[in-house]
Amino acid sequence: PSQKDFLLSVEGLTVSFDGFKAVNDLSFYIDENEIRVIIGPNGAGKTTVLDLICGRTKATSGSIKFRDSELTDLKEHQIVHKGVGRKFQNPSIYEELTVFENLELSFPRGRNVFGALAFRRDAEVRDRVDEIASLVFLQNQLHTPAAILSHGQKQWLEIGMLLIQDPTLLMLDEPVAGMSVGERLKTAELLNTIIKDRSVIVIEHDMKFVEDIAHRVTVMHQGKVLSEGSMAHVQNDPKVVEVYLGH
């Protein structure tokens, strides 16, 4: 191969809403085991980029290559099946169900419903739920109704519900918004643990959190990449300083 193998290659991605280009000829590349943070002022197109990758919004032009698959041709559920998980800003947990039940419901279902297999699966599912609950700091809340979890715990539960599906690419929209400092630090620890098996794209405004997690930062402005590189690099980029101070 003449080119480096990226996990995700976004090239020339454009989407227009009534002639307005919310994402405008955008290109970026994500490595395996990378945490990439996308920052940028409101309206820069960050959320739209995640919508495009997960198939919620269809591109006007450009390509999104994930391993060997072109995602722009696929439907949302097919993209999930390829191993792309997306967490939205508002948690979509079942409040009346327990932590265990929420995780159990998210376990990927096989098509085989024969009894013996289903029985063996029960134990497998329980083990996996326990493993994921520990990972997201909820091992002592397994039988707690989701409704009475703290805001931060609800965010972790939802991350757990995605992790139990073992995505290769996990996308998170402002995961630490509204969290305490302690919860924010634990979330950073969580992300740094889970990237052993996957890559993560995070949209984030909390710069302390960005510093704790970002391998690289992509700064978006008006649908384009304004700057990209290490946190130190983008922070000192005059183009970035101008956009942030100009607001």
Rule CB under 6 A: which residues touch ligand ADP? 17, 22, 40, 42-48
In whole angstroms, the minimum distance from the beta carbon of 42 to ligand ADP comes to 4
Of the candidates 213, 211, 191, 172, the residue with the CA atom closest to the CA atom of residue 84: 172
Q: Which amino acid is at 50?
A: L
Nearest to 10 by CA among 46, 43, 44, 40: 46
Over its C-alpha atoms, the chain yields an Rg (Å, rounded) of: 19
With respect to ligand ADP, which residue has the nearer C-beta, 43 or 108? 43
Q: How far is the CB of 101 from ligand ADP (least distance, A)?
A: 32
Q: Which is closer to ligand ADP, CB of 49 or CB of 159?
A: 49
CB of 206 to ligand ADP, least distance (A): 15
* Closest by Cα among 165, 171, 191, 163 to 7: 171
**Which runs of consecutive H residues, i.e. helices, occur in the chain?**
46-53, 76-82, 99-106, 115-135, 151-163, 181-194, 207-213, 231-235, 238-245
Cβ of residue 149: shortest distance to ligand ADP, in angstroms? 27
**CB of 44 or CB of 133, closer to ligand ADP:** 44
Under 8 Å between Cβ of 205 and 174: yes
| Minimal distance, residue 241 CB to ligand ADP, in Å | 18
- Indicate the residue among 26 and 103 with the shorter CB distance to ligand ADP: 26
Nearer to ligand ADP (CB atom), residue 17 or residue 119:
17
